[in-house]
Structure 1
Amino acid sequence: MILEAVMLQVKPGFEEEFEIEFKKASNIISSMKGYKSHELQRCLEVQGKYLLLVNWDTLEDHTVGFRKSEAYQEWKRRLHHFYDPFPIVEHFEMVDLALE
C-alpha cells in the first residue's frame, strides 16, 4: 500500500469554504480504482494548514489512474484554487519493523 501525504496551506479566510468543498469532492477520490481511504487533518497551531493522507493500492493508482482521469479535472476545479502555495505531494511506503 502507498500513502500519499500532502501538506495543504489554504488561503486565509477560505478555511470553512475549503472544508465544505473538500467534503463534497471526497466522493471523487473515493470512487477511483486503487483508492483505499483518506483523511484530512486540521493543524492546531497554524491557521489554514491541513494534512491530507490518502491510501492507494499502488503508486500508479494515484499518479496515473487518478491524476490522468477526468475525475481529477473536477477535483482540481473544486479544490486547487484554495491553496497558496501550491502543495507538494509525496508518496510513502510502510517500513517493515518486525523483529526477526
Structure 2
Amino acid sequence: MILEAVMLQVKQGMEEEYEKAFRQASHIISKMDGYISHELQRCLEEEGKYLLLVKWEKLEDHTEGFRQSSEYQEWKRLLHHYYDPFPTVEHFVKVNL
C-alpha cells in the first residue's frame, strides 16, 4: 500500500464551494482500480489549507490508472481551478519499525 499526500491551498473565499465540489469528486476517485480510501483534512491554523490523503494498493494505480483515465479529466474539471498555487503530490510507503 502507498499513501498519496497532497497539501492543498484553496483560493481565498472559495473553501465552502471547494468542499462541496470535493464531495462530488470523491465519488470519482473511490471507484478507481487500486483505490483503498481517502480523507480530506482542513487546517485549523491557516484558512484555505487542506491535506488530502489517499491510500492506493500500488503507485501505478494512482500515477497511471487514475491520472491517465477519463475519470481524472472530470476530477480536474471539478477541483483544479480552486488551487493556488497548484499542489505538489508526494507518495509514501509505511516504514516497518
Cα drift, residue 36 of structure 1: 0.1
Show the counterpart of 2:19.
Answer: 19
Gaps of 5+ in 1: none
Per-residue displacement from partner, 1:30-83 (whole Å, max 9, x unpaired)? Answer: 000000000000000000000000000000000000000000000000000000
Letter in 2 for 1:68: Q
- Report the TM-score when normalising by structure 1: 0.97
Inter-partner Cα distance in structure 1 for 2:2 and 2:62: 9
**RMSD of aligned residue pairs (Cα, Å):** 0.2
* 2:50 alignment partner in structure 1: 50
Q: What is the aligned-residue identity percentage?
A: 73
**CA distance in structure 2 between the aligned counterparts of 1:22 and 1:90, rounded to whole angstroms:** 19
Compute the TM-score of the two structures, normalised by the length of structure 2.
1.00
Structure 2 alignment gaps of length 5 or more: none
TM-aligned CA deviation for residue 6 of structure 1: 0.1
Match of residue 89 from structure 1: 89
Runs (4+) of structure 1 moved beyond 2 Å? none
Secondary structure class of the residue paired with 2:23: helix
1:32 aligns with 2:62: no
Residue type of the alignment partner of 1:9: Q
Other-structure match for 1:74: 74
